[in-house]
Each structure stands twice: as C-alpha cells, then as structure tokens.
Amino acid sequence: MIRRGRGLVQLPGPTNIPDRVLRALARPSVDFGTPGFAELVAGCLDELARILGTRGRVYAYAALGHGAWEAALVNLVRPGETVLVPETGRFATGWAEMAESLGIRVVRVPTDMRRPVDPGPVEAALRADREGRIRCLLAVHVETSTGIRHDPRILRAVLDAVGHPALLVVDAIASLASIPLEMDGWGIDVVVAGSQKGLMLPPGLSFVAAGPRALEVARTGGQPRRYWDWRGRDGAESYERFYGTPPVQMIFALREALDMLAEEGLPAVFARHARLAGAVRAAVARWSESGAIGFHCLDPDARADTVTALAFAPGIEPDPLRERARERYGVAFGGGIGPFRGRLLRIGHLGDLDEAMVLGALGVFELVLRESRVPYGRGGVEAAVAALAGR
Ligand SMILES: *Cc1c(COP(=O)(O)O)cnc(C)c1O
C-alpha cells in the first residue's frame, strides 16, 4: 500500500526531528580543529548548562543515554560501593542492573510503579545505611516506561532530612528541555540527558552535568575509566572534549535545536508541552469512560507532560492497535517495555510537536480503536479540542 503524507512518531523517543535540524545534519564536514568549531561546542555546552540550571560542568559524549548512565556511574562509584535505586520502572531497573554489572552494590527500593515514588521507604533505606556505604541515589525524573514524573526535590528533601551525604544523580533523558528542571536549585548533583527526546535530535549524543560535589568525588573516586572520564575532557579543544573526533553534524544539529528552543523561550516550551499533554490526557480520560482503557499512572498530578501510558482491561491487547496505527496510518506509538511489555501503550508528546500533530495522532488512535472494536468512551478528540480551546 502506498501511503502519502507525513508519518508521525508519537514515541517517547526518538521524537520528531524538525526540518531545520535535519538540514543542519546534512551540512558537509568541516575541520573541527579550528577555534571557531571549539567555540561552537563550548557555546552549546554552556547553553545546555543554562537549560539545566547549573553552574556545574556539562560533558558531552558520542553515545546513547545508556552511555551517559555508565559515564555517571564510573566517574562516581567504585566496585563494591553502593547506590540506592527507587525502582520506578524499566529505566530505573536498567540503570540498577548496569551498576551491578560494574561491580557496584545496589540497594533497591521497590515501588508499585503506578504512583510517584514514596519518600518513606527511601528514607528508611538511607537511615539503615549507618556506615554511609551509599554513594549515590539514582533517580529517574520522568520514568518513560510508566509515564510518571518523579519529583527529584522530594528525594533531595529526604537526603537532607536524614543528613545523608549520597549524591543525587538524576536521569533527565525524558524531561530535559520539555518540563522544568533546575539542577542547582533543586539540589541535584548530577544530571544525565540525551539528544533524541526533548532536544529533537537523532539518538547518539548524550550529556552528563556534574556539580561541585560530584566533580570532587570523581577527582579521586570512581572506577578505572578512560573514554567516560570527566578528568580527561576539560580541555578547550573539541577533540579533547569528545575524547576523539567530535560528531560534527550532530553538533551543527544541536546548535540548531538550541537556537530553536531559545527562539521559542524555555517557559514557552514548557507551556507548550503542558498544553499538549493536557489535550492528550483529556482524550484519554474520555476514552477511559468505557472502563476498557485507563491511565497507568494513578496519581493525576504525577502524569508526565512528556509521555502518557495507557493501561487496558484484560483481553485488550495494545500491540495490535499500535501496529495498525503505524502500518495503516503512519503514526507510531510506543509499546510497553520491561515489566509492562505487551500491556501498555505509550503516547509520546515531547519535542517538536504542535496541536495539529497531537490532534492527528489522537484522531488516528481513536480511528484504530473504532476499527478494532475496542470499547472506548466516544469523543476523545473532541475532549482534546476542548482542552486546547481552554474550555
Ligand atoms: C530513553 C531513555 C533512556 C535511554 O536512552 P538511550 O539513548 O536509548 O540509551 C534512559 N532513561 C530514560 C528515562 C529514557 O527515557
């Protein structure tokens, strides 16, 4: 079948890439050894620091988010030392498993994965650590597998209440440049981020921002490392900053994306994400009236403005719905991952997105529900329109 029009990726990553960014990626190579290119890189990293709200250092890697996870761990934690991980979903557990494969001990705090992290058990785990073995608290800001936003400020408050010196290390891969995040203001020591979500770039660049306490730990602590080592990446030359050839076209693309964010203004970027997320939630709430579909996240205030996870009544399989939306109508939705494989459908709503795209994606989903004879509350798109119209 020949399909016309433009496909949409309503995935929580990779996200839709704006034409301006695609054009930047198509630029020819340049000599990266010039002062001009070094300034381009430095300017991008400075701007990322501003977006993150930190006076700390931002390191960029030609790597996926998983690489940035590893970078944070090997710079901060020795084999045999301990990290604390609230198990909020597939990404938190994946990070914990990575730590274990690096010889790091992991104290897990289970959660029900349908609500934001409960500070009580985290506090108990910190209090139980009388010898101060826990070096880092690893937390995921938006747990992309569940669509739940976990406020890092709550974890900061718990660390402070206990007086525990562990560093607060936050995965902001699904929240950077989409919803508010104030690294220094919220007392976060390290932020891990990636390119293919709010930054509207392809996968392949990732970032770790480190504040003064983390940099101090990394000076003498952490594991044997080279590529990831912050200490080797402070030089002015872009070859040093990347510990090898800088990914030239990705840096052009990053510059373009940062310009686009600056033109719109971060507060407006956040407001757009909140508005569009509100439209998605209005549609889902209407569809839910049948009882066959519902929000995975049971706390309305913790539903993330970047991704919404839908749960289904027994007997309704989300994956065939996704397949039909993708193959017949060119709209890709995310599936369930980790413990939620085959059970959830995730609508990504972050990055380069507007009303037309969101309404189109919601309309296609409603069409697929109808064609698939899934019982759903009628009028989801109308509810989204009403939310966008402000009534
Ligand atoms: C996407 C994502 C990751 C993984 O990023 P990769 O680039 O695929 O390695 C990690 N954490 C969160 C919260 C994510 O959304």
Q: Is 180 left (phi over 0), alpha (psi -120 to 50) or beta?
A: beta
Q: Which atom of ligand 1 is nearest to the CA of 13?
A: 1
Q: Is the CB of 56 under 6 A from ligand 1?
A: no
| Burial category of 178 from C-beta neighbours within 10 Å (exposed 0-12, middle 13-18, buried 19 and up) | buried
Q: Which of 15, 144, 169, 173 to mutate to test the pocket of ligand 1 (most atoms within 8 A of CB)?
A: 173
| Per-residue confidence in pLDDT tens, the chain, 391 aa | 788 888 999 999 999 999 999 999 999 999 999 999 999 999 999 999 999 999 999 999 999 999 999 999 999 999 999 999 999 999 999 999 999 999 999 999 999 999 999 999 999 999 999 999 999 999 999 999 999 999 999 999 999 999 999 999 999 999 999 999 999 999 999 999 999 999 999 999 999 999 999 999 999 999 999 999 999 999 999 999 999 999 999 999 999 999 999 999 999 999 999 999 999 999 999 999 999 999 999 999 999 999 999 999 999 999 999 999 999 999 999 999 999 999 999 999 999 999 999 999 999 999 999 999 999 999 999 999 999 999 7
Across-strand partners of 134? 82
- CA of 135 from ligand 1 middle (Å) equals 22
Handedness of CA 165, 78, 145, 141 (dihedral sign): positive
Q: What is the rounded distance in angstroms from the CA atom of residue 126 to the CA atom of residue 146?
A: 25
Q: Is the CB of 87 under 6 A from ligand 1?
A: no
- CA of 94 from ligand 1 middle (Å) equals 10
Q: What is the rounded distance in angstroms from the CA atom of residue 344 to the CA atom of residue 310?
A: 6
Q: What is the rounded distance in angstroms from the CA atom of residue 97 to the CA atom of residue 75?
A: 17
Q: How many CB atoms lie within 10 A of CB 365?
A: 28
- CA of 340 from ligand 1 middle (Å) equals 16
pTM above 0.95, yes or no: yes
